[in-house]
Amino acid sequence: MAFDLDLIQRYYSSLADQLETVRAKLNRPMSLTEKILYTHLYNTGDLKEFQRGGDYVNFSPDRVAMQDATAQMALLQFMQAGKDKVAVPSTVHCDHLIQAKVGADDDLKTAISTNKEVFDFLSNVSNKYGIGFWKPGAGIIHQVILENYAFPGGMMIGTDSHTVNAGGLGMVAIGVGGADAVDVMAGMPWELKFPKLIGVKLTGKLNGWTSAKDVILKVAGVLTVKGGTGKILEYFGEGAENISCTGKGTICNMGAEIGATTSLFGYDEKMRAYLRGTERADVAEAADKVAAHLTGDPEVYAAPEKYFDEVIEINLDELEPHINGPFSPDKAWPISEFARAVEENGYPRDLEVGLIGSCTNSSYEDITRAASIAQQAVDKGLKVATEFTITPGSEQVRYTVDRDGLLDVFGKIGGVVLANACGPCIGQWARHNADKEKKNSIITSFNRNFAKRNDGNPNTHAFVASPEIVTAMTIAGDLTFNPLTDSLTNEKGEQVKLEEPRGIEMPAMGFSVEDNGYQAPAEDGSHIDINVAPDSRRLQLLDPFAPWEGEDLTGMKLLIKAEGKCTTDHISMAGPWLRYRGHLDNISNNLLIGAVNFFNKKTNAVTNQLTGETGEVPETARAYKAAGIGSIVVGDENYGEGSSREHAAMEPRHLGVRVVLVKSFARIHETNLKKQGMLGLTFADKDDYDKVREDDTISVLGLRKFSPENNLLVRLDHADGTTDEFEANHTYNETQIAWFRAGSALNLIRMQNQ
């Protein structure tokens, strides 16, 4: 089924002309990344050579993807925009809320009943607003996107960091916060700092035990977890052309672990074959006609150091399989050095669980390569020495590998198939027989391996490798085993060796599936009502925030003067709170509970000026709100850095905070505050931070003349009767000032729609 074929054909038909205009302006060869970015400008009148790593640019992505956990607040907000339908093709995928416990069928049933309210809500809202809905069990968002929606040369945003997986099919695909998804679904521009570019030249050919996963495990070791921040990685070279499309997806997927904005490959024969194999021959045909525009210019790849900000070269002929970890995905060990690393670092040598699958590594090729190792174990009288689980990435992959007998092979050596969902990868893993404190080792073909990620145990040493290496290690049960060189003892006491894995890129009989789990939206959703139980603990319909009252903001109380680092995690903590991400009032009980109070150096302990007593931050904010008094948050440098979490801007707004005044902002959070109709200001003179006292009453003056050119004035009325006044800078443009006046960006859109 070729979703969005019209959209893709329309884009391709104008691509040559668009690129001609861009070329005329830039007057130089372009990488693929640049071609995609420059042809997706929101306002083509803005076309100029953008400064990489400097200019903020507005883009117009082709589509939006949301996973079930992050979609809740995004859709609740979108409902506020007053639109009948989403402005670009969008989908919701139920994958993160499914816990892995005993096996696919039972786990899925349990998840559907535990999360019924949330799944029903997501399904109804999707149905109403023209959003494709993938039911629980349909698969993991990124695998489903690769199989159905990704297309060469496209641009997509998704509310999950591994959205980048679609770079395997030549897309610029970027993980974002829910607020960005709402903007794009509502037809607004999406802003991104124009990224720097890293070229990764792949020479040679993958062979033997080495797979696509090892390319990114190696790159992670080179660039480290921060090396990709603000950058896009573009892979090219003969080595790239020989990697399967899903293998390319694996490489792009795990690019998130080095902080890369995204990664991608140019359109080639492997992508063409994958499009055809996933029933999108028409997309391949359309892409073929503009193939030269769907990859970087030859001059760029011939002299990459001239066109990329950084170039890395990897010879695939020499690349060894890698095992990365523990606790960080950039701790990269070639397999020949791994046994020594285990011994020298005292990593627990006995392996307790091996897990394959996830959105990173669950293609047909991955499963066949791992199954070829499992089959050898059957033939040579070996079984797994530890627990072994398999998580298919989608129902289409699961059905096909089941049809082709591969799941049976895993079963014969003791493997357990889990639901087509995130499960253990996101900590949704009720790991049995595991002591929560015990030091232990597991190995996965997933992407992240930070402490506690998989099972909540800080002492679990999680290592990351390809599915075939994971399978081999699971059979051995010993982390010092090197399948390339070592032998194992079988049931008869004989020494046997595992041969190189063999994989099949695409199923010989094609993919098949009985029910792929897709629900198409209603043509006309106007008759669909969205109901949320008033006593729901997990969901709450939003009320629009009140518009600006037209007066200066006076008489506000200081809620907290935060000292030092205050990230979005300090402002809106994750962990157990994520259960309430669809319920603004409930999740607001975590507002700023991680921020350090300047006056007492404690967290979640501030003075309630109405009572003089010390209280928790959310409770104190609620007290001011109940008394009809606005409040203000004062902060330090780079306030709101970290992941783009819309709750960090919505919660203060919900609890009556009107102004956030800081030494400096992380830009995304500053924009998120503006979108929620708040005032995000910075001290014109940073030393004025020191003037703010715990018992201040604070006013922001000059709002009637609020304009991009003018600073605002802050007045502190101290309890001792003295006052201080100083200027505050702002970065509001005319549109953002209109958001402030309307009460939020969504209020403004709704008013414009009426």
In angstroms, the first-to-last Cα distance of the chain is 36
| Residue 257 interacting with ligand SF4 (CB under 6 A) | no
| Residue 426 interacting with ligand SF4 (CB under 6 A) | yes
| Residue 447 interacting with ligand SF4 (CB under 6 A) | yes
Residue of 62, 107, 147, 160 interacting with ligand SF4 (CB under 6 A): 160
Task: Given the residues 4, 62, 107, 160, select the one marked as catalytic.
Answer: 160
Task: Given the residues 52, 322, 369, 448, select the one marked as catalytic.
Answer: 448
| Residue 183 interacting with ligand SF4 (CB under 6 A) | no
95 is catalytic: yes
Of the candidate spans 331-339, 399-407, 418-426, 700-708, the one that interacts with ligand SF4 by CB under 6 A turns out to be 418-426
Closer by beta carbon to ligand SF4, 296 or else 517: 517
Of the candidate spans 10-18, 139-147, 272-280, 639-647, the one that interacts with ligand SF4 by CB under 6 A turns out to be 139-147
Residue of 33, 250, 278, 358 interacting with ligand SF4 (CB under 6 A): 358
| Residue 425 interacting with ligand SF4 (CB under 6 A) | yes
What is the residue-wise DSSP string for 562-627? Answer: EES---HHHHB--GGGGGGTB-HHHHGGGBTTTSEETTTS-BS-EE-TTT--EE-HHHHHHHHHHT
Least distance (Å) from ligand SF4 to the CB of residue 394? 11
Least distance (Å) from ligand SF4 to the CB of residue 428? 8
Closer by beta carbon to ligand SF4, 359 or else 661: 359
| Residue 359 interacting with ligand SF4 (CB under 6 A) | yes
**Secondary structure of 255-280 in HEC code, one letter for each residue:** HHHHCECEEEECCCHHHHHHHHHCCC
Report CA-CA distances (Å) from 259 to 64, 100, 325, 480, 672. Answer: 21, 27, 17, 30, 21
Least distance (Å) from ligand SF4 to the CB of residue 359? 3
Of the candidate spans 103-111, 136-144, 222-230, 321-329, the one that interacts with ligand SF4 by CB under 6 A turns out to be 136-144
438 Cβ contact list (under 8 Å, min separation 6)? 457, 459
| Residue 730 interacting with ligand SF4 (CB under 6 A) | no
| The two structure tokens encoding residue 226 | 């921060």
594 Cβ contact list (under 8 Å, min separation 6)? 566, 569, 570, 571, 573, 603, 604
| Residue 422 interacting with ligand SF4 (CB under 6 A) | yes
Q: Among residues 483, 498, 499, 494, which one has the least CA distance to residue 339?
A: 483
Task: Given the residues 536, 643, 664, 695, select the one marked as catalytic.
Answer: 643
| Residue 91 interacting with ligand SF4 (CB under 6 A) | no
Contact pattern for ligand SF4 over residues 632 through 651, marking x by CB under 6 A: --------------------
| Residue 174 interacting with ligand SF4 (CB under 6 A) | no
Of the candidate spans 75-83, 138-146, 230-238, 321-329, the one that interacts with ligand SF4 by CB under 6 A turns out to be 138-146
142 is catalytic: no
| The two structure tokens encoding residue 485 | 């060189």
DSSP state of 227: T
CA dihedral over 34, 250, 156, 152, signed as positive or negative: positive
Total chain residues near ligand SF4 (CB under 6 A):
13
| Residue 164 interacting with ligand SF4 (CB under 6 A) | no
645 is catalytic: yes
96 is catalytic: yes
| Residue 441 interacting with ligand SF4 (CB under 6 A) | no
CA dihedral 411, 415, 417, 418 (to 10 degrees): 160
Q: Among residues 512, 568, 561, 572, which one has the least CA distance to residue 690?
A: 561
| Residue 162 interacting with ligand SF4 (CB under 6 A) | yes
CA distance 353 to 348: 12
CA distance 243 to 447: 19
Report helix, strand and coil shares of the chain as percent, to nearest 5: 40, 20, 40
750 is catalytic: no
Task: Given the residues 4, 62, 68, 95, select the one marked as catalytic.
Answer: 95
| The two structure tokens encoding residue 739 | 């958001």
CA distance 403 to 398: 8
CA dihedral 513, 519, 520, 523 (to 10 degrees): 150
Q: Among residues 680, 727, 70, which one has the least CA distance to residue 426?
A: 70
Q: Supply the residues annotated as catalytic.
A: 95-96, 160, 448, 643, 645
Q: Which residues make up the interface to ligand SF4 (CB under 6 A)? A: 95, 140-142, 160, 162, 358-359, 422, 425-426, 446-447
